[in-house]
Structure 1
Amino acid sequence: MKRSSAQGIQARDAPGRKAVPWQADGVPVTRQQIADYLASLQARGCVEGSVKKYSRDLTLFYDFLPDGKEITRSTLEEWRAELLAHGYAPRTVNAALSEANGFLEWLDLRKYQLVGQLDIGDDVQPELTRTEYLRLLSTARALEKRRTYLLVKVFACTGLSLQELPRLTVEAVRDNRLIVTSNGLRQILHIPASLQDDLTRYIHRMGLVSGPVFVSRNGKPINRTAVTAAIQGLAQDARVPPEKCNPRCLRKLYQSTMAGIEAGVQLLVEQTHERLLEQEQLTVGWEEVNEP
C-alpha cells in the first residue's frame, strides 16, 4: 500500500481564524479550537450529520495526540498508521485524514497536512472467523497472556469499541453491564456470565477496587495502540492474518454472530407462527362445500 509523507506548504495569515503559536518542534491544539472549527462549518451551511461525523473523527484525532496535544509534521502519518492497525478500512481512513486536513487548513497549519490518499482497491474489510477467534484465545492462554486473552474476549463477546474500553470498569463488571454511547444514543451492553467470571478473577488478581479494568502501570487506562499491539502479537502463533487481529475485527465478529442468531430466532418465530395458524385453520377454517 503506497503512502505519501507529509509535505510542507507555506502558511499565510487568515482573518477570523484561531491563532496558533508557532513552534519549531510542534504546535499545540485544543478542544476549543475543534469546537470553533465545527461551529464555522455549521455557519457555512454544513449539514448536521456531517458536522457530527467531523466531531467524532476530530475527537478521535485529538485523543490520539500525545500528552502535550502537539501536532508535528509526522502526526497525521502516524495517525494513519494507527487507524490502519486498528482495522479501519482505507476508505474510512482517507475520510478521517481529509477531515483532519480540513481542520489544519482552518488553523493555517498547512505544513502539517498529509498529502496523498491510500489506494482503496476493493476496500474489503477482513473478517475474522470464529475458528480464528478461538485460536487467538487458545494462543493467549498457552502463552499465559491473561490480559490479552481477556481483551480478545471483551471485544468479541460484548461488541465494545476500542474507544469505549475505559468504560469497562470494576463497577460495570460487578453490575454485569456497561453503558456506552453509540452515534449519540445511550446503549447498555450486557456482559456474559462466563466473561464476567473471568473479569472478576482478573480484578481480584490485580487488586483493583474501582475504575477501569485494563490499566497501565501508572493506573491510567491502557493505551489504545498497546491494546491493538497486544492482540496482533498473537497473530503468528495463532496462525491468524495480522490484519484480522484487532479490536475492530473482533467487534465485527460479535455483530455478525448476533445477526446470525437473530436471523435464526426470527425464522423459528415465523415457523412457529405458521404452525399455530395451520392448527387454527383445522379447527375454525372456512371449508368450501361443493354443491351439485
Structure 2
Amino acid sequence: MGYERTEEMLTAYEGYLREEEHKQTTIEKYMRDIRFFTSWLGGRPVEKAVVLEWKEYLQTKGLAPATINAKLSALNGLFQFAGMKECSVKFLRIQRQMFREPSRELTQDEYKRLLGRARREGKERLALLIETICATGIRVSEVAYITVEAARKGRAEIDLKGKIRVILIPEKLCKKLIKYAEMERITCGEIFLTQNGKGLSRQQIWREMKELCKKTGVEPSKVFPHNLRHLFATLFYRVCKDIVQLADVLGHSSINTTRIYLMTTGTEHARHLEMLKLVM
C-alpha cells in the first residue's frame, strides 16, 4: 500500500472516530499508535504474520501488557474499519491483579500534604483543582464541566460519548469554587482556566502536580490526576459499602471496572489476614 493511500485511509479512519464521538485524547492516541506501526512497517504489505511480528516486537520493548493491548486495539480498530479484519490479532491475556502496587497508592495523608504545600506556595488554582478532582471523583477530562453555574447549583452534568451523568459537588467545595471564581473575576463557564482564559489541558494539570510532589516528599509515581479518582473511590466505598452506587458515581458501565479502583496493597491484605486471628 503506497504512502498516499495509507494517509488517505488514516485520515478517513480519524474522521470515523470523530463521528463515533470518541474523545479527542483517545483519537490522538489511536492515531499515534497506528502511525508508529506504519513507521515500523517500513513499506511492507500489511499481513497478519507481519502484525503478529509487531505484537512480538512490542513485547520485547518491555511494555506493560495493558499498554501493548491498547496499541493492538488501535490497530484492530483500523483493520475493522478498512475491511481487513483478517489482519486483526488477539490481545495478550492479562491475569486480574489482586493487589495494587504500594508505589502507586496515594494515601489520604499524602493528599493533604499536597494540598497544604500548594496553598503555602500560593498555588490556589492547583490546590482547588486537586481538591475538586478528589472530592468529586471526576476524570481529568471532565474538569471542564466544573463551571460557575455548576458550583452554584451544587451539581455538574457531564456529557461524554453520548452518556450523561450528574456529579454532586460538596457544599463546602461549592463555596470555595465560587469564592475562587469571584477572586479571578470569572462570572460564567469553566472555573479552571489558564492566564489566557483557556481551559487547562491534561498535560498542564499533570505537569503542575508532578512539580508539586517534588516539594512534599510524596513519590512522583503516586501523583497524577487519575490517582485522585482512585483515592475518592476508596474512601467513598469505605463510607457507603455499595459498589453499585460507586460505579454510578464514577460513571462505570461495568462493576468489574469499579473493582479495579478498590484494589488494596498487599500490605493491607496481610493486615486483614492477621486480624482474622486464625493462626494459633
TM interval, shorter chain, is: 0.5 to 0.7
1:84-128 CA-to-partner distances (Å, cap 9, x unmatched) read: xxxxx94543333222233455688xxxxxxxx99x997945221
Cα distance, 1:218 vs structure 2: 3.3
Q: Matched residues in 2 for 1:145 and 1:98: separation?
A: 40
Q: TM-score, normalised by structure 2?
A: 0.60
Quick one: which of 161, 172, 183 aligns to 2:139? Answer: 161
Structure 1 CA distance for aligned equivalents of residues 161 and 112 of structure 2: 30
1:238 and 1:253 mapped to 2: Cα distance? 18
Name the structure where helix makes up a greater proportion of residues.
Answer: 2
- 1:60 paired residue among 18, 25, 28: 25
**Equivalent residue, structure 1, for 2:16:** 33
Which string of whole-angstrom CA distances, capped at 9 and with x for unpartnered residues, describes residues 108-164 of structure 1? 8xxxxxxxx99x997945221100000000110111111110111011100011111
User: Which residue among 236, 254, 257 is the counterpart of 1:258?
Assistant: 236
> Which structure 1 segments of 5+ residues have no match?
1-10, 39-54, 77-88, 109-116, 265-292
Do the aligned residues in 2 keep the contact of 1:61 with 1:100 (CA within 8 Å)? no
Q: What does residue 111 of structure 2 align with? A: 133
Aligned to 1:269: none
Q: CA RMSD in A?
A: 4.0
Aligned-pair identity in percent equals: 24
State which structure, 1 or 2, has the greater radius of gyration over its C-alpha atoms.
Answer: 1
Provide TM-score, normalisation by structure 1. 0.58
Deviation at 1:31, TM superposition (A): 5.0
User: Which residue of the other structure, out of 198, 206, 219, is the alignment partner of 1:228?
Assistant: 206
Contact in 2 for aligned 1:34/1:103 (Cα 8 Å): no
* Structure 1 residue 226, shift from structure 2 partner: 0.5
* Distance 1:13-1:65 versus aligned 2 partners, 3 A rule: closer
Matched with 1:180 is 158
**Contact 2:30 2:71 (8 Å CA) reproduced:** no
Equivalent residues, number: 205
- SS class of match (1:238): coil
| Structure 2 segments unaligned to the other structure (5+ residues) | 40-62, 83-90, 243-280
Say if 1:98 and 1:183 are closer, same or farther in 2 by CA, change over 3 A: same
